[in-house]
Amino acid sequence: MDLARITSKGQTTIPKSIRERLGLHSGDVVQFSVEGERAIIRKVRPPRDDRDYLRGVDGTLDEWLSESDESAFRDL
């Protein structure tokens, strides 16, 4: 059994043995779900039309929603 501590910001590190077993690498997207008292994590693979993948990455794109970014990249 692997253990990890949750920070005050709700963050944790996925233990190396779990990352290796799931084939997780930097930049990969994972999906969390809850079944009863269990939290389940799975690697999300990005096939062409995978709505789960798109929902997963959608929450990571907030940093690009600022007015300054919109202004800077409007003409690209």
Distance of alpha carbon 33 from alpha carbon 13, whole angstroms: 17
Q: pLDDT tens for residues 6-47? A: 999 999 999 999 999 999 998 888 989 999 999 999 988 766
CA dist 46 and 29 (Å) reads 9
* Overall pTM > 0.75: no
Print the domain residue range for 47: 1-61
How many folded domains does the chain comprise? Answer: 1
Q: List the CATH number of the domain containing 15.
A: 2.10.260
Q: Is 36 left (phi over 0), alpha (psi -120 to 50) or beta?
A: left
Any domain includes 74: no
With CA atoms as reference, report the closest residue to 4 among 37, 35, 41, 29. 41
Phi, psi of 75 (to 5 degrees): -90, 5
For residue 10 the two structure tokens come to: 């709700």
Do the domain assignments include residue 54? yes
